[in-house]
Amino acid sequence: MVKQSYPRIEINLQYLKENVAAIVKKCADCGIKISGVIKGTTGIPQCAKMFQEGGVYGIASSRLEQIEDAINEGIDLPMLLLRVPMHSEVDEVVRLCDMSLNSEVSTLELLNEAAAKQNKIHNVILMADLGDLREGFWDKDEMVKVATRVENEWDNLHLSGVGTNLGCYGSIEATADKLDELVAIAERIEKEIGRELEIISGGGTTSLPRVLLGDMPKRINHLRVGEGILLARDLDVFYGLDMSFMHQDVYTLKAEVIEVKDKPSHPVGKISIDAFGHTPEYVDRGIRKRALIGVGKVDYGSIDEIFPKDKGVEVIGASSDHTILDVEDAEREFKPGDIVSFGINYASIVYVTNCKNVQKVFV
């Protein structure tokens, strides 16, 4: 196996744990339990462990292999599958997860059979689509009917509650009104089945503003939070919330300089297409000092998602395995072998932690 030190993603586990604990505490003060969503960090078991140590109620992921890794790491918390199950995976869902989010009768039937075969009771949260238009029941009468079937008909399923997801496809804000709609659906179901639901799951990171601003509907008692713990950037940048109580630098991408030269800033010759078939705009700024580093779009996705920590350094372009930095105005002199550090966005955290070419280093 090739031994490489760079590119690497440094993950500050202590910061991660402190972020988990901070969100768990704020939510606990509002009577809300947190399932820590580990998909944003590709379910890295060391990170999943920090969710546990930070005090989450459970662990959640969209992907079964990440939940299995967490179990193998010795994490014995309720495991929640976030992505509505595929028919082809129901046996594994029941084997690995205590609970799943659901929206299809045919899948619930298969989950019930799988649970019967494994002598288990599988817990179900039914999803309501409140307008964001990804998963969930659109017809709420149908949802109430299916809820009563889970309650009465399928012996190896237990109806734990209801949930919703907002701010994913349709960019719909998790306002107090939207979450009141979810509570109203829960209460319709409770009336039908004659008992209280254990869980009313009000969404992910985009529902945290309700907690932080103090207008979360009382009966919401569960959230599934990933980004707001791993990065804590979206609520700051997009919602203008003060997130200074969180570490926004749990993840640092580091890459090595492989070439430093003065070159023209505008390509020389007949312009056609770049490595990805596009023709970007090139601004002519004359001759500039540039550093080439050994990391590229295959590793982190898009150059808009990475932010050099050095003042005066600008990311001007990239191909699959190379990134070009303008270092003309940098505060230090770059030479081959030097290391450059970047803060990265959620999408890039997902990519770099998924990439076997990027070393994972825990600090």
Ligand X SMILES: *Cc1c(COP(=O)(O)O)cnc(C)c1O
Interatomic CA distance for residues 42 and 87, integer angstroms: 23
Restricting to residues 163-182, name those near ligand X by CB under 6 A.
165
Q: 137: which DSSP letter?
A: B
Toward ligand X, which CB reaches closer, 216 or 295? 216
* Closest to 334 measured CA to CA, from 255, 260, 253, 258: 260
Interatomic CA distance for residues 347 and 230, integer angstroms: 11
Residue 114 contacts residue 88 (beta carbons within 8 Å): no
Q: Is 120 a catalytic residue?
A: no
Contact with ligand X (CB under 6 A): which of 16, 82, 159, 212?
Answer: 82
Q: Is 58 near ligand X (CB under 6 A)?
A: no
Q: Is 226 near ligand X (CB under 6 A)?
A: yes
* Closest to 105 measured CA to CA, from 152, 138, 142, 131: 142
Choose the stretch contacting ligand X; rule: CB under 6 A; options: 34-42, 145-153, 308-316, 322-330.
34-42
The minimum distance between CB 36 and ligand X, in angstroms, equals: 9
Q: Is 62 near ligand X (CB under 6 A)?
A: yes
Toward ligand X, which CB reaches closer, 83 or 145? 83
Restricting to residues 196-225, name those near ligand X by CB under 6 A.
204-205, 224-225
- With vertex at residue 21, the alpha carbon angle to CA 18 and CA 27, rounded to the nearest 5 degrees, is 140
Choose the stretch contacting ligand X; rule: CB under 6 A; options: 33-41, 67-75, 286-294, 354-362.
33-41
Q: Is 228 near ligand X (CB under 6 A)?
A: yes
DSSP string, 270-294: -----TTS---------EEEEEEES
Q: Is 160 near ligand X (CB under 6 A)?
A: no
Interface with ligand X: number of residues (CB under 6 A) = 14
DSSP string, 242-256: --TTS-S-SEEEEEE
Considering the candidates 3, 17, 25, 39, report the single residue annotated as catalytic.
Answer: 39
The minimum distance between CB 326 and ligand X, in angstroms, equals: 32
Toward ligand X, which CB reaches closer, 67 or 260? 67
The minimum distance between CB 226 and ligand X, in angstroms, equals: 3
Q: How many CB atoms lie within 10 A of CB 171?
A: 10
- Tokens matching residue 61: 């992921």
The minimum distance between CB 272 and ligand X, in angstroms, equals: 39
Q: Where are the alpha helices (DSSP H) in the chain?
A: 13-28, 45-53, 64-72, 90-96, 105-117, 140-152, 176-193, 208-213, 227-230, 234-237, 297-300, 346-354
The minimum distance between CB 203 and ligand X, in angstroms, equals: 7
* Closest to 348 measured CA to CA, from 41, 47, 67, 66: 41
Choose the stretch contacting ligand X; rule: CB under 6 A; options: 37-45, 49-57, 181-189, 259-267.
37-45
The minimum distance between CB 315 and ligand X, in angstroms, equals: 25
- Chain residues in the site for ligand X (CB under 6 A): 37, 39-40, 62, 82, 101, 165, 204-205, 224-228
Catalogue the active-site residues.
39
